[in-house]
A and B are shown apart, each in its own frame.
Chain A
Amino acid sequence: MAEIRKATGFIDWLDQRLAVNKFIKVMMTEYWIPKNINFLWAMGVVLMVLFMILIVSGIFLLMYYKPDINLAFDSVNYTIMQEVEYGWLWRHIHGVSASVIFLVIYIHMFTGIYYGSYKKGREIIWLTGMALFGMFSAEAFSGYMLPWGQMSYWAAQVITNLFGGIPFIGEALVVWIRGDFLVADATLTRFFMLHVLLLPLVILLLIAVHFYSLRVPHVNNQESEEFDFEDEAKKYLEGKKVESKVVPFWPVFLSKDFFVVGVALTIFFYLVCFHYDFAMDPINFEPANNMKTPAHIYPEWYFLWSYEVLRGFFFDIAGVAAMDIGLAAFGFANVIFMLLPFLDRNTDHVAPAHKRPLFFVWFWLLLIDMIVLTVYGKLPPTGNNAWVGFGATITFLVLFILLPIITKMEANCKCNTGGCK
């Protein structure tokens, strides 16, 4: 045991027992961040703030919510929205941040793709990030079900039914997931448990790993420039702050983050109080009715692109049922982003997309294609809509098949250090 002497103050007392000074250095004041990064890198902190908001508002909602199919709808729409003081505020905050968090996740993800932050030494950051995305999706879906509205119920029917497409074990798996032959009370209570306990725990753990995985390879920067963090940190500590390429996380980097978070939360509270409807499907204000199918069943906006991939194949091809092809494509869409670091065959070269001509085109095509998928995922899949959806689905698949090819071409091109002019 370290020698414990009489403390000079409270911080010193803590320091001798918990090494708080060292901890603050490692985590904050000597955690080095490249200076050359733009506000897109603040999205991580915005996500963290939104996630905290979700947890806090969720705890308040949890005090009044009843996970029972006969009580759930009224406990949300009457007890929480009307009886509890400011219950509406917590509910809107929870609902709106659940939706907004996905927008920020997508921005965060596309930032990583654009600047090549998933490559060379940063694979674990990317993998844990994508795992977080998966967990957030499960978290969002399980939470969406809880108010037991019309769309929650039917979305649960459709989504749980998807597992039925898995060969051999499909049907049994669907029953196992639902806990019943139909989406019913057993389904609601288990999704409640997943939403408030198991998934948040996994998410918290993954966030910790995601942060930790940044420590060794360090954060990427706007130019994807590689430099020696220790040298730069030394310069900074010596007082050559302007010359140094890094800044400490606290207070320099966070001062910028606070500003970005401030802007984000201003917009957020506008949405919460005046424009919450985009995050709350009106159909969910009708109680679940298993005898009445809604005219259109669609998920929340952030799942629309993969939903459209699922239903993009609307006709049988070579004797394979459209449903099965769709399901395979859906499976592909849901794992393919995870594999990005390995599909990019130009492994050594980290550079932003604007310095990689072929990849640059690929990036914007992917973004536009995913927006087309998102919009058409909401529209009724009839007539021309079905064909646009089909085309966008094929484009999505082809883009990912092409990625290893174009990045290999880029790697083989010797005209400069990776990446053709």
Chain B
Amino acid sequence: MRELKILAIVIFFTAVVYWGVEPFAHSQMHPHVAPADFAFKDLGVNAKKGDAAKGAETFLNAGCIGCHGVSSQGMAAPMDNASASASFGVVPPDLSTAGAIYDKNFLAALIKDPTKALKVEHKFNESRPHPMIAFFGLGGDLDQEVADIVAYLQSIAPVTPLDDKQVYADACQRCHDIKYDKVMSTTDKTALMAYMGTLPPDLSMMIRSKGAEYLTTFINNPQKQLAGTSMPRVGLNEKAQNQVVAYMEKVGDRKKAEREDLGYKLIGYMVLFTLLAYAWKVKIWREVH
């Protein structure tokens, strides 16, 4: 009985220390932020219904392919990666999958005002323009034209689901390495450094240094977690973003399944050991009590 009382005291103080050092300190150091917003409400809503066929025309007339490739439609990128890095600071994305991985609302806002949608107004202004030029329209109803382009991008997006690594490649690989999966950024490092102001970190271990919860709010809106960061808001829809996080976990925490599986066996073994040890102890101590 006395030993149980002592045990309770030991457990109590250990628990207090644990609570203070882990959850409590974390809550003080990393204040809670609002959950990820996949509707991108701050960008307003483009209520126009897009026409994909018209959008294809507008897309060509607007000069999008001056910078962007759409490889699935036979439109190669106008420049190789090295020249694109030198000209824009970062390789412009191929738009083949854009309609599938980015939110529709976000895409519309991005076409009209890239710095606002990407939340990089703190870095780009009149004197340092963002490499993607805002689309001012072809003379008709701007919102309608934008809606058409988005409808076009959605219409050409692959119907079969993309795998996690593919989503990562289309959404993140222009800037970030994942060297533990031998995936390197497509943009030239020197150009990227000059463009971003700092070299975007390798993401191999990011799942363990930041954790899935933080990454979910961070990718969705980097400024919310790290004010002033050069990382733009990516605008991924919920499914695509989950795929990116899943891919990061696959690379950074590859042994998770093995760890959990072995965990049950190790604990099971020790429980058996403990029970046997207890039985032995009772047997031996019977003689001396």
Which positions in A face B, CB cutoff 8 Å?
35, 38-40, 77-78, 81-82, 88-89, 92, 103, 107, 241-242, 244, 247, 251-252, 255-256, 258-259, 261-263, 265-266, 268-270, 272-274, 278, 280, 282-287, 295-296, 301, 304, 367, 371, 374-375, 378-380
Contacts and interface: CB of A to CB of B under 8 A. Distances in A.
Given A81-B255, A270-B263, A273-B262, A252 B270 contact: no
A244 B287 CA distance: 11
A262 B254 contact: no
A35 B255 CA distance: 46
B128 interface: no
Contacts of A88: 255, 258-259
Interface string B197-232: 000011011101111000000000000000000000
Contacts of A89: 259, 262
B183 to A, nearest CB: 14
B266 interface: yes
A282 B210 contact: yes
Nearest to B258: A88
A6 B8 CA distance: 57
B17 to A, nearest CB: 6
Contacts of A287: 202
Interface of B: 2-3, 6-7, 10, 13-14, 16-18, 20-22, 24-25, 28-29, 180, 201-202, 204-206, 208-211, 252, 254-255, 258-260, 262-263, 266-267, 270-271, 273-274, 277-278, 280-281, 284-285, 287-289
Nearest to A252: B284
A251 B267 contact: no
A179 B29 CA distance: 34
Given A38-B6, A107-B10, A269-B270, A82 B254 contact: yes
Report whether over half of chain B's contact residues are helix, strand or loop; otherwise say mixed.
helix
Which 9 pairs show the lowest CB-CB distances between chains A and B?
Answer: A273-B263, A262-B274, A375-B20, A285-B209, A266-B270, A378-B25, A269-B266, A258-B277, A285-B208
B19 to A, nearest CB: 8
B20 A374 contact: yes
B285 to A, nearest CB: 7
Nearest to B276: A262
20 contacts: A39-B3, A39-B6, A78-B204, A82-B180, A82-B255, A242-B288, A252-B284, A259-B274, A259-B280, A273-B262, A273-B263, A278-B22, A282-B209, A285-B209, A286-B205, A301-B21, A371-B16, A375-B17, A375-B25, A379-B28
A252 B277 CA distance: 12
A40 B6 contact: yes
A88 B263 CA distance: 12
A292 to B, nearest CB: 9
A295 B280 CA distance: 52
Given A78-B180, A263-B274, A285-B209, A38 B2 contact: yes
Contacts of B278: 259, 262
A269 B265 CA distance: 10
Contact of B17 (A92, A262, A280, A301): A301
Contacts of B258: 88
Nearest to B263: A273
Nearest to A274: B263
B288 A252 contact: yes
B285 A77 contact: no
**Residue of A78, A262, A287, A295 with most partner-chain B CB within 10 A:** A262
Nearest to A385: B28
A242 B270 contact: no
Contacts of A286: 201, 205, 209
Contact of A265 (B18, B20, B206, B270): B270
Given A78-B204, A82-B255, A256-B281, A262 B270 contact: yes
A247 B289 CA distance: 10
Contact of B281 (A38, A242, A258): A258
